[in-house]
């Protein structure tokens, strides 16, 4: 302890007060108080992002050119350049807050939709305390001493304590000479307004370890698992990695995985497989970042309902049989160590709540990440994959459904279909004069096969150039060798054997086209059925948010051409990429969004389509390119009509 004068600094709008020595740096004081000020240059004074307004009291400031005369006269100062001279009241404007930095960073990668209006208050928080050593006059227990310190310095009360913290408390406090860093986790969502949270103390470390403060965001997909290591002080991604879900060896889709779980030891095997995948990703993240596993205190995990249940060792058997009930749609926090996940011993896993058996935490996470629940505009949210999940709604209500699209979008059930990896044909253009294709592959290498987005593009081109009709059947009379009969009906050769890696022709068959039509019909019928269920009827959405790695690669115009996406102006479509990971990441930064996730899961109404008559009718009506009802796709119909009427050789711009 120095002999310096003690001063109070009060920060607004957080309403946090801290006692500091006279002369303390104001940015450091804010950090110590848990007030999140954005200092992109790290406190060098060069960025000007840490501006605060001194409402009362006196600071000594080194003025730089980042502060205008007008600002200076209003009491605006750079926190990093200011020292505390008296008791202060300091206002931190929204532009200087850390959430602003997070949003700015995210916006670059994602799109214009993103959850906003949240405060940067991670559910996992670290607090540093310096405690007086015990004396005969003050020999309260170590635990009471710690709680008193937290209450006095951070106004923290109403804490619950994990027993393993009590177990190491005495030695940790003494090892750090009565200086320690406590990690708290907020898990319980406020059940009603006015209820106070009860943060859980999950760890204590000797000394000041606030600078080592990390968590993980995970998207556990049926096919791939993506993980990000986050820095909770700076609100950014430190490292990122992905891997195929190790469960793939036991079945490609959720149905085969659920079936596998019914074998003796099957569930355990699948659980271990995904845990191994997660641990592999964590190792990779650590290798990239040099962050110790012990510094990772939290995992925010979004997965579909089946993946979530298997990860937790909850038998998914009832998910697959009518009436399709999950064991739980929200989960208590689970210690990472209890599942064999190699993060900190104290690390807890938060699983995003699910809506139903086939609308999982990944969708809830995507909705929250994209801020769909915050906006009044009518949104159509879709995550396209084997199970296309769709949501319609806004901040007031949401309906959701899962459409069994089948594996076509992921290249499954397609003769030369492959997943979207190097060598997959992704882009296709067909010359309307000679029906010759120009193909582009991922990695610009020789083609190996065709991926889902490539298939959509190819079929849209085949339709636009009249190679196939609106019923998906080939025009057998065209002057090209590319269209030819085969064992599976007619087919179109996208690449000749000599041009491919496989040494065989790569083709699209009528069966492939049929599979794609069924997949897109399921999605579109799902959308129509949901829409009708809430009395809207049509598909005139203010915005269409497309999530999922697959979704990011599709060409909107061509997807509209085949009738996968509704016929709306292109500017209404927004791609957010991996929405599940986005939501998991943002929620790791803000307890506000954690609350939102629970609320969103509860407000969504699930519609089971599997035995819904309306859905079946819509589905049959959609088994056409783009649709049996031309009026639902006016711009496509107009283009197709203009082509057939005017110039059969001219390629329709799709």
Site residues (CB under 8 A) for its own copies?
Answer: 134-136, 138-145, 157-158, 160-163, 166-167, 169-171, 188, 191-192, 194-196, 198, 312-315, 317-318, 322-332, 334, 338, 354, 356-357, 606, 608, 611
* Count of all residues that appear for the chain in the document: 654
- In the bound complex, what is the minimum distance in angstroms from residue 642's beta carbon to its own copies? 45
**Residue placing its CB nearer to its own copies in the complex, 149 or 472:** 149
- Which three-class secondary structure state does DSSP give residue 228? strand
Distance (Å) of CA 412 to CA 212, 406, 448, 516: 44, 8, 14, 10
**Residue placing its CB nearer to its own copies in the complex, 3 or 163:** 163
- In the bound complex, what is the minimum distance in angstroms from residue 621's beta carbon to its own copies? 23
Here the contacts of 223-228 (C-beta below 8 Å, separation 24 or greater) are: 223/248, 223/252, 223/385, 223/410, 223/419, 224/549, 225/274, 225/277, 225/278, 225/281, 226/281, 226/578, 226/581, 227/278, 227/281, 227/282, 227/285, 228/285, 228/581, 228/584, 228/585
Angle, to 10 degrees, between the axis of helix 98-109 and the axis of helix 579-589?
Answer: 170
| CA pair distance 127, 105, nearest whole angstrom | 26
Q: Are 381 and 370 in contact (CB under 8 A)?
A: yes
- In the bound complex, what is the minimum distance in angstroms from residue 194's beta carbon to its own copies? 8
- In the bound complex, what is the minimum distance in angstroms from residue 313's beta carbon to its own copies? 7
Nearest to residue 397, comparing CAs of 520, 297, 533? 533
| CA pair distance 287, 293, nearest whole angstrom | 11
- In the bound complex, what is the minimum distance in angstroms from residue 330's beta carbon to its own copies? 7
- In the bound complex, what is the minimum distance in angstroms from residue 337's beta carbon to its own copies? 13
Distance (Å) of CA 518 to CA 320, 616, 625, 627: 21, 12, 11, 12
- In the bound complex, what is the minimum distance in angstroms from residue 136's beta carbon to its own copies? 5
**Residue placing its CB nearer to its own copies in the complex, 339 or 636:** 339
**Residue placing its CB nearer to its own copies in the complex, 49 or 172:** 172
**Residue placing its CB nearer to its own copies in the complex, 105 or 318:** 318
SS (H, E, C) 55-117: EECCEEECCCCCCCHHHHHCCEEEHHHEEECCCEEEECCHHHEHHHHHHHHHHHHCCCCCCCC
- In the bound complex, what is the minimum distance in angstroms from residue 613's beta carbon to its own copies? 12
| CA within 13 Å, CB half, 33 | 25
How many other CB atoms sit within 10 Å of the CB of residue 350? 26
**Residue placing its CB nearer to its own copies in the complex, 338 or 642:** 338
- In the bound complex, what is the minimum distance in angstroms from residue 339's beta carbon to its own copies? 10
Q: What is the largest CA-CA distance in the chain?
A: 101
**Residue placing its CB nearer to its own copies in the complex, 135 or 645:** 135
> CB burial class (10 A; 0-12, 13-18, 19+) of residue 4?
exposed
**Residue placing its CB nearer to its own copies in the complex, 93 or 332:** 332
**Residue placing its CB nearer to its own copies in the complex, 329 or 453:** 329
- In the bound complex, what is the minimum distance in angstroms from residue 354's beta carbon to its own copies? 7
- In the bound complex, what is the minimum distance in angstroms from residue 381's beta carbon to its own copies? 21
- In the bound complex, what is the minimum distance in angstroms from residue 530's beta carbon to its own copies? 16
Q: Tokens 């593009």 appear where?
A: 457
Q: What is the DSSP letter of 566?
A: -
**Residue placing its CB nearer to its own copies in the complex, 139 or 264:** 139
- In the bound complex, what is the minimum distance in angstroms from residue 608's beta carbon to its own copies? 5
**Residue placing its CB nearer to its own copies in the complex, 163 or 631:** 163
**Residue placing its CB nearer to its own copies in the complex, 22 or 322:** 322
Q: For Cα atoms 112, 118, 122, give the angle at the middle one, nearest 5 degrees.
A: 115
Task: Dig out the tokens for 423 from the structure.
Answer: 């060598």
Which residues, other chains included, contact 590 with Cβ-Cβ below 8 Å and sequence gap of 6+? Answer: 99, 118, 119, 120, 121, 122
Helical spans, DSSP H, in 328-407: 361-369
- Which three-class secondary structure state does DSSP give residue 561? helix
**Residue placing its CB nearer to its own copies in the complex, 109 or 133:** 133
């Amino acid at each position: 302890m120095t002999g310096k004068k003690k001063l109070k600094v009060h920060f607004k709008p957080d309403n946090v007060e801290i006692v500091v020595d006279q002369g303390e740096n104001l940015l450091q004081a804010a950090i110590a108080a848990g007030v999140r000020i954005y200092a992109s240059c790290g406190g060098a004074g060069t960025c000007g992002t840490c501006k605060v307004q001194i409402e009362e009291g006196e600071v000594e400031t080194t003025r730089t050119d980042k502060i205008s005369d007008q600002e200076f006269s209003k009491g605006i100062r750079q926190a990093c350049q200011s020292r505390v001279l008296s008791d202060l009241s300091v206002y931190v404007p929204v532009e200087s807050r850390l959430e602003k930095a997070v949003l700015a960073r995210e916006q670059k990668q994602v799109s214009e939709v993103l959850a906003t209006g949240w405060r940067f208050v991670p559910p996992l928080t670290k607090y540093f305390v310096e405690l007086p050593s015990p004396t005969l006059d003050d020999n309260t227990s170590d635990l009471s001493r710690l709680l008193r310190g937290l209450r006095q310095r951070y106004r923290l009360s109403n804490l619950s304590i994990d027993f393993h913290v009590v177990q190491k408390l005495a030695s940790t406090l003494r090892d750090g000479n009565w200086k320690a860093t406590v990690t708290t986790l907020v898990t319980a969502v406020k059940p009603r307004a006015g209820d106070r949270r009860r943060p859980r103390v999950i760890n204590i470390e000797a000394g000041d370890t606030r600078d080592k403060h990390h968590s993980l965001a995970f998207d556990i997909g049926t096919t791939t698992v993506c993980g990000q290591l986050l820095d909770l002080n700076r609100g950014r991604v430190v490292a990122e990695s992905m891997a195929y879900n190790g469960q793939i060896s036991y079945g490609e889709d959720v149905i085969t995985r659920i079936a596998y779980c019914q074998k003796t030891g099957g569930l355990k095997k699948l659980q271990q497989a995904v845990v191994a995948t997660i641990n592999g990703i964590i190792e990779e993240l650590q290798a990239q970042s040099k962050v110790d596993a012990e510094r990772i205190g939290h995992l925010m995990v979004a997965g579909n309902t089946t993946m979530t249940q298997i990860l937790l060792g909850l038998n998914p058997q009832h998910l697959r049989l009518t009436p399709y009930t999950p064991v739980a749609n929200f989960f208590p926090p689970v210690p990472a160590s209890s599942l064999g996940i190699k993060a900190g011993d104290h690390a807890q896993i938060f699983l995003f709540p699910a809506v139903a058996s086939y609308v999982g935490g990944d969708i809830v996470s995507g909705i929250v990440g994209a801020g769909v629940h915050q906006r009044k505009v009518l949104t159509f949210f879709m995550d396209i994959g084997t199970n296309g999940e769709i949501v319609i709604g806004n901040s007031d209500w949401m309906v959701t459904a899962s459409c069994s699209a089948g594996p076509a979008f992921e290249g499954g059930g397609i003769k030369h279909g492959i997943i979207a990896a190097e060598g997959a044909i992704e882009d296709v253009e067909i010359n309307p004069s000679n029906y010759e294709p120009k193909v582009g592959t991922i990695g610009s290498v020789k083609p190996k096969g065709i991926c889902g987005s490539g298939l959509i593009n190819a079929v849209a081109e085949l339709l636009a150039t009249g190679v196939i009709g609106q019923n998906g059947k080939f025009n057998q009379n065209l002057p090209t060798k590319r269209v030819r009969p085969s064992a599976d009906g007619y087919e179109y050769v996208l690449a000749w054997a000599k041009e491919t890696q496989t040494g065989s022709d790569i083709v699209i068959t009528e069966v492939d086209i049929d599979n794609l039509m069924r997949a897109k019909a399921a999605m579109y019928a799902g959308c129509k059925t949901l829409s009708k269920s809430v009395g809207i009827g049509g598909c005139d959405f203010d915005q269409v948010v497309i999530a999922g790695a697959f979704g990011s690669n599709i060409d909107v115009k061509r997807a509209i051409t085949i009738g996968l996406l509704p016929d709306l102006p292109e500017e209404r479509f927004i791609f957010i990429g991996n929405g599940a990971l986005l939501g998991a990441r943002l929620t790791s930064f803000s307890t506000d969004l954690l609350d939102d996730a629970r609320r969103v899961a509860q407000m969504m109404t699930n519609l089971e389509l599997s035995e819904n008559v309306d859905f079946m009718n819509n589905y049959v009506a959609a088994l056409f390119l783009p649709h049996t009802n031309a009026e639902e796709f006016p711009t496509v119909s107009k283009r197709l009509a203009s082509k057939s009427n005017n110039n059969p050789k001219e390629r329709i711009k799709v």
